Each structure stands twice: as structure tokens, then as C-alpha cells.
Structure 1
């Protein structure tokens, strides 16, 4: 990794990087030249259960170092405010500063809304949404202080992880879909707040075959249609399809990309526009009555083609990040 690369001299944190998407992202950022703090709580259950273990993060950090890169492991729960602070401090103390934050850590506790317990709701919101906020808070404070000391913008990049489940709904994941929608709102607000400091914040909706999605993608061929290992075909849902976009968004080349939502999987990147008005109705009186709304909205929805986004919910909900 001695050759000059886009992220040379920069430091990155990747949360939930002991496995799956986070691991692929950490390895890619290191390949592009960044020093990486590999964060993971190391619990064996995708629902966030089991004893914490430093082993997954340590293994990824060792893999990066074996390839000639720089990496340290961090065992910590990003949903804990103090531990998120310690994570950012670890990056600054080890490498001098923080330049890139990739929020990926998450858990699943799926249940239909009428069966979901309070704990199942709270735990998913805590890890996904609060976890994204905690690390963002401390990274943003670090960049703001650096920008003030430097008297101008610094290089700061946030890449957050949402899911298509928030776009189209996911019947058995009300907690997950709500958290992922909240992450988009957090990202766009952060993008506006930090732009003057040279910091960008973007959010991706990835599809990838990981332990989080092992049941969802069980029927999708791992080596392309009709393919098999050794035939030169690449798994269309490999996490390595996602990590190059994260590397790009973390780089100086993406300085003009801010507050954006991108869907990525299997050699495809789609840029999602913010919601636009589909139709508009004005009352002919001072205010609407029930009868007037019935006369306007009922025929509108009766004649309108099925909502493509909503109709695609079953397919798009496969995009659990």
C-alpha cells in the first residue's frame, strides 16, 4: 500500500466492521490508503444477543495489516454515548485525527407491528438510530473544532447506512424501517449543519448477503444465474459490490456529494431523489370540507396506477443493510 491512493493520510472509523458489509468497507478504505479503526461489539447473534467479543474486529484489523495497511480494533457499543466518544478518541489518539466515519453497526429483531414488544422496538432504534447519532455527534464536534482551529474547512466524510425497507416498507420490520428512515433524516440534517466545515454526510441503502440477510437471500444464487463456484461468476449480492461506493464517498473526489441517498448492490448505483409533489388540490372555498375532499381524492386514487414504490415493497425490503 505504499503507492499513493485517494485516502492516503486519512483516518476512518467503520462501525460494525467485524463481519459482512462493515468488514468489506473497512478493507476497501484501507486498500485506498486510509488508516482504519475497526469497531465491532462482536456479539454472535444478529439480534444483538450473546457475549461481546473482540475477536471479529481484531481479525479484520489483522487482515488489513497483513495486506500492508494500518488498522486497530475497537470493542465497543456505538449505542452507548460514552463508548461512542471513546471510539472517536481512539481514532484521534492513534492516528492524530479522524477524517471518515462509516456507520454500519446494526441488529435485527423482526416482528409484525401487532406482535412486537417494547424491547424489540427500543433495542433496534437504539443500535441503529441512536448509534448513528452518537458517533456522528462526536465526529462532528471533532471536525468543528479542527475547522475553527484551522480557520477554514477540513476533510470530513460521513457515510451512513439506511435500507430500502424504509423506502417501501417491510411488513415484519416496523422497528428497522423506522430506524432506517430516521437515519436518512439525521443524515440530511447533518449534511446541512456541517457543510460549512468541509464535511459531507451521505447515506446508502445497500443490498448484500450477510448474516443479517442470510434468510432473506437464501433463494438467490450466490454465483449468478446458473453459475457455480469456479465458473468465474461473482455473487451479485457480495458486500464487495457496496464497498467501492463507500470508498468514493469518503474521498476528496466526492466533495460536492452531500445529503444524498444512494441505493447500491450488484454493480448498480441509483441516486434517489427527495420526495416530490405528485398532485395538488386547492379548495374552492375558504377551507376544505369532507365532501369536497371526497370528490377530489377518491377519484384521484381510484384512477391512479398502483404506486410503484409501494407495489415493490416485497422486493425492496430485501435490501436490509
Structure 2
């Protein structure tokens, strides 16, 4: 694709677009990508954690910080929820730097609400940014990746999607959809040497700060999460964008402080067959009891990741 692998600057010669890069996780990724030699399009619409308002300052400040450190970067304030906006981001990379090699779909919003109180307009807004957004940006970049026979996508999913959480039906559905989108991209574009992977990030960000802490246990968990700085997600992201991981595609990772996990994907746990087929009664009396020992509990991400990070 571009220059050969350099362990000190693993993105030398590459052009990377990072969405939601004005703050938090995206900012850390943009800065580390630039430190490793990438030319960066710093996209951030400048909205609040719930997707309201617009302020181009955060993205411009990150781009300026990269340039002040000797790197190359431009700011972009288009919305990922707009396909035309996604096309403009990609075109800006081409106009400014001549190519595009990597896309990090990091932009997201939260509007927490218990399911029976979830407003349809909040569902639409969260899905538009968190699921349609990654589709828009990935689809806009895909023809260019195909044309140059190479490229890498990294998408941010969530433990709320992979495991579960209260009050996040829309966010969880969107973020689980991102994992299926990533796998589909990996399958469809493997022939063009295009990779697609997901990261489930654990970090203290503006979005996490909007999650209500209604019980002492939840407030204690929030305090623990404050120890997980968003820049800890950047090394895994930059590695997945680089040629050093050129064989890695279709995977879901989690990054939690100094821990990295490979997350599972759905596979059959147990199968049963009954000669002559099944009736509802036989399913309830035979199949369900036989499978019950392998049922998943109604746990949350805090139940599965219940230890303090180090």
C-alpha cells in the first residue's frame, strides 16, 4: 500500500479519518495516529454528548495541536449522520492529502432512557449517529479502498451492546449493529485487502459522564471508570490501522485501561433434534430444560467486568 512497516512510526505515509475526534477517545486516537506518521482528518461536529448544538472549536484545536507538533492535519465539522457529510469528509482527505488509508468510526451520542420511556425521536437520533454514521463514512471510503487495493476500518462498539446495560436500548442496538456491519464489511471487502474490526472501549468520556448513577454501587463504578483515561484506547486503534496487523479482520476487541480482550462472537452453544419434529409442548418440556444450564443471565457489563482496572 504505502511505505514499509516502521515499528517507531507504524502509520508513516498513511491518511486517516477519525470521526468524533475533537474530544475523548477520538482525540487520543487522532493525536497518536499523527505521532505515528499519519496525516489526519479530524472530524467533529462539536455537538454535546446528546448530539445537540455545534461548535467547530474542538476539532480545530486537535488539528492545530497536531500541526504544532510537526504533523499534518485538517479539521472537518460534517455530521456522520449525513451521507453527503461523510462524502465530504472523505473528499477532504483526498483533496488535502491525496488518498485515504484508514477510517475510525468513533463519533457517538447517548440519550439514556428506560425502554418504556424511550422517545422515538431519541431512538432515531442515536441510531442515526451510532449506526447509520459508521455506514455512511465506511461506504463513502469503500470505493477508494477498493481502488487502491487496501484500507482499514476500525469501529467503536460498546459493552452495553455486547453484554448489556440499563436504559440504553437504542444505543445498545446501534452499537451491536456496528459489529454486524464491521463483519459484513470484512467479508465483502476481503478480496480488496480491506480490513474491518471493532473495539469495545472502556474509558471515562463525556458520554460515560451522562450515565446516571442512582445507587451507591453505580456511583462507585463511575469513580472506578474515571481512572480509565480515553487515550488508553488509541494504541490498539492505531495498531489495527497499521500494516503490522494486516492479517487481522472481522474481530471484536475490548480495551480497558492496560487490558486488551478478544471478545466472543455468536456461535451455537448446544443443539437438539427430535425425530418427527417439535411441538410447543415438547420444546417447553424437553428442549428448554436441556438447554437451561447454558442460558445467559440478565447481566450487565459491570457484572462481567467487575474487577478494578490496573
TM-score by length of 2: 0.89
Q: CA RMSD in A?
A: 2.2
1:158 aligns with 2:153: yes
- Go from structure 1 to structure 2 and tell me whether the alpha carbon gap of 1:208 and 1:15 turns closer, same or farther (over 3 Å shift): same
- Paired residues of 2:160 and 2:300 also in contact (CA < 8 A): no
Distance 1:13 1:40 in 2: 11
Quick check: 1:42 aligned with 2:42? Answer: no
Look up the match of 1:293: 283
User: What secondary structure is seen at the aligned counterpart in 1 of 2:133?
Assistant: helix
| Shift in Å, 1:222 | 6.5
Partner of 2:19: 15
Asked if 2 retains the 8 angstrom alpha-carbon contact of 1:79 and 1:134, the reply is yes
Determine which structure has the larger helix proportion and give its number. 2
**8 Å CA contact retained: 1:236, 1:267:** no
Q: Deviations over 1:239-279 (max 9, x none)?
A: 12111000100000111100000011111111113212111
Q: For 2:36 and 2:201, how far apart are their aligned partners in 1?
A: 20
| Aligned pairs (5 A) from 1:184-223 | 184-216=179-211, 219-220=220-221
Structural mapping, 1:78-93, within 5 Å: 78-93=80-95
- Whole-Å Cα distance in 1 between the matches of residues 200 and 119 of structure 2? 26
Q: Which residue of 2 aligns with 1:257?
A: 248
TM-score (norm 1): 0.86
- Find out whether 1:243 has 2:246 as its counterpart: no
Measured in 2, the distance between the counterparts of 1:173 and 1:277 equals: 26
Shift of 1:117: 1.0
Written as runs of structure 1 = structure 2, the 5 A alignment for 1:161-172 is 161-172=156-167
Unaligned regions of 5+ residues in structure 2, if any? 1-6, 212-217
- The offset of 1:171, in angstroms, is 2.3
Within 5 Å, which residues of 2 pair with 1:272-291?
272-285=263-276, 287-291=277-281
Contact kept, 8 Å, 1:4 with 1:33, in 2: the verdict is no
Asked if structure 1 preserves the Cα contact closer than 8 Å seen for 2:269 and 2:294, the reply is no
For 1:92 and 1:118, how far apart are their aligned partners in 2? 37
2:146 counterpart SS class: helix
Shift of 1:316: 5.7
Q: How far apart are 1:83 and its partner, in Å?
A: 0.8
- Partner Cα distance (2:144, 2:294) in 1: 49
